[in-house]
Amino acid sequence: MLKLGKQTHYALVALFHLDQVDPGSRVSTHELSERYDIPEPHLGKVLQKLSRAGLLVAVKGVQGGYELNTSLRNLELGDLILALEPSPRRQSATPHTILNAFPSCYMQGMVREVESRVLDRLHHISLNELLTEMEVPEYRVFPLEMSL
């Protein structure tokens, strides 16, 4: 089972929010953090990574904040995961007794193939597709006078 980390969850919340604001509008880390009850330091790191990956535009200063660099139609879940999640190959490999029954090179090749196929599938899921297929009202941006 694929398990997405907290950074990917935070990124999805931020991207879905930014998709709902007026084009050219910027949203601060503080505003997103308070609205969705996400720790501001963690969210800030996620938004910086998304900015470095070219998914967001970051503007510094009093009128600064983040805005989408492109429509969610042009962003895919696989790109988001590659920008945020550590590759299983980069994580420390703890040997598992069941896996010790197979030659190391066989297991590494099989794991790489599974990883490749999963990422290939994820690259074909647009974030816009996810947003439009979900019925998750907390990701929608409501006017300030409405409460969640």
Cα pseudo-dihedral 46, 48, 53, 58, rounded to 10: 130
Taking 70 as the threshold, does the pLDDT of residue 11 lie above it? Answer: yes
39 within a domain of the structure (yes/no): yes
- Looking at the structure of the chain, the number of domains it has is 1
Question: Do the beta carbons of residue 36 and residue 17 sit within 8 Å?
Answer: yes
Structure confidence at residue 86 as a pLDDT band (50, 70, 90): low
Phi (first) and psi of residue 66, to 5 degrees: -120, 150
The pLDDT of 96-112, averaged and rounded, is 63
The pLDDT of residue 106 is: 64
119 assigned to some structural domain = yes
Q: For 38, what's the count of Cα atoms within 13 Å in the CB-facing half-sphere?
A: 25
Which residue in this structure is represented by tokens 């800030």? 44
Looking at the domain assignment, is residue 80 inside a domain? yes
Q: Within a domain: residue 147?
A: no
What CATH number has the domain bearing residue 95?
1.10.10.10
CA 92 to chain centre: 22
Return the sign of the alpha-carbon dihedral for residues 108, 114, 120, 125. negative
Residue 98 tokens read as: 């069941």
Q: Please check whether residue 148 lies inside any domain of the structure.
A: no
> What is the pTM assigned to this prediction?
0.69
Domain of 41 in residue numbering reads as: 6-139
* Averaged pLDDT score across all residues of the chain: 77
Q: Is residue 127 part of a domain?
A: yes
pLDDT at 134: 60
With the C-alpha atoms ordered 99, 113, 73, 132, is the resulting torsion angle positive or negative? negative
Query: Residue 65 to residues 38, 59, 125: CA-CA distances in angstroms?
Result: 16, 5, 27
